[in-house]
Amino acid sequence: MSAALPPETSPQHTNSMAITLQIVSIVLYTFIAFLCIGLPIAVMPGYVHNQLGFSAVVAGLVIGSQYLATLFSRPVAGRICDTIGTKRAIVYGLAGIAISGVLTVLAVLLETFAGISLSILVIARVILGGSQGLVGVGTISWCIGQVGAEHTARSISWNGIASYGAIAIGAPLGVVMVNTLGFVSLGLVLTVLAAGALLLIRNKPPVPVVRGERMAFWSVFGRVAPYGLGLTLSSIGYGTLTTFITLYYVSRGWEGAAWCLTVFGVCFIVARLFFINAITRFGGYRSAIVCMSVETVGLVLLWLSPNTTVALIGAGFAGFGLSLVYPAIGVEAIKQVPNSSRGAGLGAYAVFFDLALAIAGPLMGAIALGMGYDWIFFFAALLSILALGLTVLLSRRPAVDTRL
- How far is the C-alpha of 120 from the C-alpha of 129, rounded, in Å? 14
Q: Indicate the SS3 state at residue 87.
A: helix
Calculate what percentage of the chain has a pLDDT beyond 70: 90
Q: 255 or 135: whose pLDDT is higher?
A: 135
Question: Which carries the bigger pLDDT value, residue 292 or residue 57?
Answer: 292
Which long-range contacts does 106-110 make (Cβ < 8 Å, 24+ apart)?
A: 106/187, 107/187, 108/182, 108/183, 108/184, 108/187, 109/184
Q: What is the pLDDT of residues 211-254, one digit of tens each?
A: 656 666 677 788 888 898 999 999 898 888 877 888 888 888 88
As a whole number, the mean pLDDT across the chain is: 82
In the predicted model, is pLDDT for residue 63 greater than 80?
A: no
Work out the average pLDDT over 118-133: 90
Residue 398 main-chain phi, psi, to 5 deg:
-60, 135
Q: How far apart are CA 200 and CA 26, in angstroms?
A: 11
The whole-angstrom separation of Cα 337 and Cα 163 is 25
Q: Cβ contacts of residue 403 below 8 Å, gap of 6+?
A: 335, 336, 337, 338, 339
**pTM summary value:** 0.72
Give the CATH number of domain 13-395; options: 1.10.490.130, 1.20.1250.20, 3.30.1700.10, 1.10.3470.10: 1.20.1250.20
Stretch 107-130: mean pLDDT: 88
pLDDT of 3:
41
**pLDDT value of residue 378:** 93
Q: Give the C-alpha distances (Å, rounded to integers) separating 78 from 148, 281, 348.
A: 18, 29, 8
Highest mean pLDDT among 94-103, 137-146, 241-250, 364-373: 94-103
Residue 1 pLDDT level (bands cut at 50, 70, 90): very low
Domain boundaries, the chain: 13-395
Q: Which residue has the higher pLDDT, 317 or 40?
A: 317
**Measuring CA to CA, which residue among 230, 227, 321 is closest to residue 272?**
321
Q: Model confidence over 80-114: pLDDT tens digits?
A: 887 888 888 899 999 999 999 999 899 888 888 88
